[in-house]
Structure 1
Amino acid sequence: MKRQILTLLAVLLLLGCGIIDKKNQQTGSFHTGVYQNLFVELLGLSDEEVKLKIDNAFNQLFYGDDKTERVYYPMGDDMAYIVDINNNDVRTEGMSYGMMIAVQLNKKEEFDRLWKWAKTYMQHQSGPHKDYFAWHCKTDGTKISINSASDGEEWFVMALFFASARWGDGEGIYNYKKEAQKILDAMLNKSENSDERDVVTNMFSKKHKQVVFVPNGDADDFTDPSYHLPHFYELWSLWADKENNFWREVADTSRSFLKRAVHALTGLAPDYANFDGSPIDRWGGGHNNFQYDAWRVAMNVAVDYQWFAKDKWAIEQSNRLLNFFYSQGIKNYGSLFTLDGKMLMPDHSEGLVAMNAVAALASDLEIRKEFVRELWELKIPTGHYRYYNGLLTMLGLLQVSGNFRIYHIK
């Protein structure tokens, strides 16, 4: 906190002296080192109260009751996995989220345990999938599917870069930067595209400069809006050892894509979309609607704006989304909707509450305070559905409190 205050004072002093051009200054946490803590700024809570809340959430999800609270389970002396309790499997989504949570909270042991499990059991070491990860496995490490879900690799790369910056690189699989680069190289060096189901393709379309849903022949011609992470790509454009211009173009393309993907009135995004942003429901299941994946779009838009402040559209979009959910009743809005706002599922889900609170980082509405309060008062999820709801709640607490930070590669 002391460092944040000193950084802010320095920026204000330079502005006042005319050393920084007010019209051309670069904003966003990447440049200023300042991260909003909305629990303190909007709710008047103390830093100590916020830290306790975050510590308690982490301890419950990582070390709570085996049957009702935790999702993190150690395996042997140096590995651990995160379980999707509802499906009884281990997913790259959860493993990479767990690693990101660990690096943000300076939990190196937990990070290394998760990474070794993912590296040992999930990452392909040979064949056409080499350096991609099987998107889900049994808890004994057996691969259930050999295919990848692109968001897992994205979050692995970003968590590894931050680990390199925060802790330095070690030997072997703990040379975090080298491991991140290995995944980036794999993303762009498979077949460009295919209509054959068994052909492994690039995780990012070089033609469309967008992340694909699944990098194989029958799922690489559309995308998932929640997989679009322009703030990650912006950092990769600076830290990768090749393809830097490509990653910069991907960041810009993703920001433009999200504008097309969300509904103009509600701000809701679909689970799946064509590269032009239009919703798609490839195999049925209603994925042209606002469903579980799409909850995360609010987080991605807001964190991108907090870190880089590239486009004030993020403010408009966050306001639009919060206004919609406020109109649905802030205490009891549903969890699934058509894009034009018809409720499909009345359940009020913790994960969506957390993601909407993150949108407050980019909103300038008075009501954003109420969304932040809803997250603060939220109990950390327990029981059968604690995996997805719990991890999104943990990420939301970090982001809204200013503890989801860029650790700079030197």
Structure 2
Amino acid sequence: MTPPIGSSRRAVLFGAASFGLAASLPGSLRAAPFDAAAWRRYAERFLLPEGRIVDTGNKGISHSEGQGYGMLLAVAGGDRAAFDRLWGWTQRVLMVRGDGLTAWRWTPDGGVADHNNASDGDMLIAWALLRAAEAWQAEAYRTAAIAIVKALAAGLLVEHAGLTVLLPGRDGFRKGDTLVLNPSYWIFPAIRAFAALPGGERWSKLAESGLVLLSKARFGSFQLPPDWMTLDASGTVGIADGFKKQYGYDAVRVPLYLALDGYRDPYYFRPFATLATHFGGKAVPATVSLPGGTTTQVAASVGMLAVYRLACRLAGIGGGDAVTVPPLAPDEDYYSTTLTHFSALAAQSLGIDP
């Protein structure tokens, strides 16, 4: 059964003071775990002077996703100079396609290695620009964001099986009358920000379709979404061929993005909480094969565990200590560290203990 659209969601979550810089939380909660000092530590690890975020777990490459995450965290950390370096490098190096979108992958030894875009990276960048425009009252950021949003809408939002959906990239995701989609590309707070722009009605429909698809994309004993899924012309959702048939490093962001947009309904968080508590909240596997349910021996990272702890609290499963999240290690990789910080920001915005 599909839950009501927008069920148990706060009406407005990410106002000017709510994303990362709130001065205090209710008395029974901890102080905000992400602040200017946390941003400086993040920047020291992953932001190079020229303005690119280094994916330390992936051969030191940079990509549009990392630029978007870095820009969002720079806004949360109140660091406009770093934001401008990030945005400047993104414009100079990645915005070379000619259609207003970014090439998704850059390598230190070869430059832009794949000119296809990644829609989630473009969305994160545009959302960061909108947040920067609000934080620093800079209309140029808003103008740049609107241009990216329009380019995304023109090339990546499509109508299929009665739904408005988002192609993961301009090329390679149409297989006859079947689309290949990525559920973690539904970045709900960004989508809501885009829907609030003039002419943003299709983005509202995209948010609605995301909830419908998440109700259908539940596979295996834990009822988890796959990292990559298909949607055929009849509206049937499946697990995509050509990718690892698993839940894992991509789809772990599904509950994170729902929480960042203020969703609280346990329906959305229960599969992820059930997975985490099944393994005792410590030795949670990084991936689960779908639909079979075979798990890897690779353990979930600190960042993934932070997402699971958030999911457990919102699902009401296992109590506040259902998942043990170790401190970030000095050499914690880019993706795990990023997930940890965004989980903390989501908890802060929801007013729950991180």
Q: Which amino acid counterpart does residue 398 of structure 1 have in structure 2? A: L
Greater helix proportion:
1
8 Å CA contact retained: 1:381, 1:389? no
Aligned to 2:166: 211
- Structure 1 stretches of 4+ moved >3 Å: 31-37, 39-42, 53-57, 217-220
Aligned pairs for 1:183-202 within 5 A: 183-189=148-154, 202=155
Task: Work out which of the residue numbers 93, 104, 117 in structure 1 matches 2:65.
Answer: 93
Instruction: Find the partner of 2:92 among 102, 120, 125.
Output: 120
Summarize the alignment of residues 73-222 of structure 1 with structure 2, pairs less than 5 Å apart.
Answer: 73-75=48-50, 80-85=51-56, 86-124=58-96, 126=98, 130-139=99-108, 142-169=111-138, 175-189=140-154, 202-207=155-160, 208-218=163-173, 221-222=179-180
For residues 379 and 54 of structure 1, do their structure 2 counterparts lie closer, same or farther at Cα, with a shift above 3 Å needed? farther
Q: CA deviation at 1:188?
A: 2.7
Match of 2:342 in 1: 395
* Corresponding position of 2:3: none
1:359–1:141 Cα change, 3 Å: farther
TM-score by length of 1: 0.72
Instruction: For 2:327 and 2:122, locate their aligned partners in 1 and report how far apart those are by CA, in whole Å.
Output: 30
Structure 1 pair 32/339, CA: closer, same or farther in 2 (3 Å)? same
**Structure 1 pair 163–360 and aligned structure 2 pair: CA distance change class (3 A):** farther
- What secondary structure sits across from 1:370 in the alignment? coil
Query: What are the Cα deviations for residues 363-405 of structure 1, in whole angstroms up to 9, with x where unaligned?
Result: 233x24115x734xx222443x61111111121222223399x
SS in 1 for 2:49: strand
Whether contact under 8 Å (2:260, 2:349) holds in the other structure is no
Aligned to 1:303, which of 260, 270, 281? Answer: 260
The 1:32/1:303 distance shift into structure 2, 3 A limit, reads: closer
Report the identity percentage. 22
Q: 1:149: Cα distance to partner?
A: 1.0
Mapped partners of 1:141, 1:403: distance in 2: 42
Once the two structures are TM-superposed, the CA of residue 331 in structure 1 deviates from its matched residue by 1.5
Deviation, structure 1 residue 31: 6.8
Q: Aligned partners of 2:223 and 2:36: how far apart in 1?
A: 33
Report the AA paired with residue 227 of structure 1. Y
1:337 to 271, 275, 288: 288
Q: By how many angstroms is 1:160 displaced?
A: 0.9
Measured on the aligned residues, the alpha-carbon RMSD in Å equals 3.0
Larger Rg computed on CA atoms: 1
Whether contact under 8 Å (2:36, 2:77) holds in the other structure is no
Of 58, 62, 65, the match for 2:43: 62
Say whether 1:380 aligns with 2:328: yes
2:173, 2:181 within 8 Å by CA — same for their partners in 1?
no
Contact conserved, 2:272 with 2:312, CA < 8 A, in 1?
Answer: no
Tell me if the contact between 1:267 and 1:317 (Cα under 8 Å) persists in the aligned partners: no
The answer as to 2:242 corresponding to 1:283 is yes
The Cα of 1:162 is off from its aligned counterpart by 0.9
Give distance in 2, aligned partners of 1:283 and 1:270: 13
Match of 1:359 in 2: 311
| Secondary structure of 1:345's aligned partner | coil
Q: Given that residues 285 and 297 in structure 2 are in contact (C-alpha distance below 8 angstroms), is that contact kept between their aligned partners in structure 1? A: yes
Q: CA deviation at 1:35?
A: 6.7
Distance (Å, rounded) in 2 between the aligned partners of 1:32 and 1:214: 27
Relative distance call for 1:228 and 1:357 in structure 2 (3 A) is same
Question: Does the 8 A contact of 1:213 with 1:219 survive in 2?
Answer: no
**Counterpart-to-counterpart distance in 1, 2:267 and 2:78:** 34
> Taking structure 2 as the reference length, what is the TM-score of the superposition?
0.83
The code of the aligned residue for 1:389 comes to S
Cα pair 1:135 1:148 within 8 Å, conserved: yes
The residue type paired with residue 183 of structure 2 is: P
Shift of 1:104: 1.9
Q: State how many pairs are aligned.
A: 330
Structure 1 residue 46 displacement after superposition: 3.9
Give me the whole-angstrom Cα distance separating, in 1, the residues matched to 2:183 and 2:59.
23
Aligned partner of 1:203: which letter?
Answer: L
Structure 2 SS opposite 1:74: coil
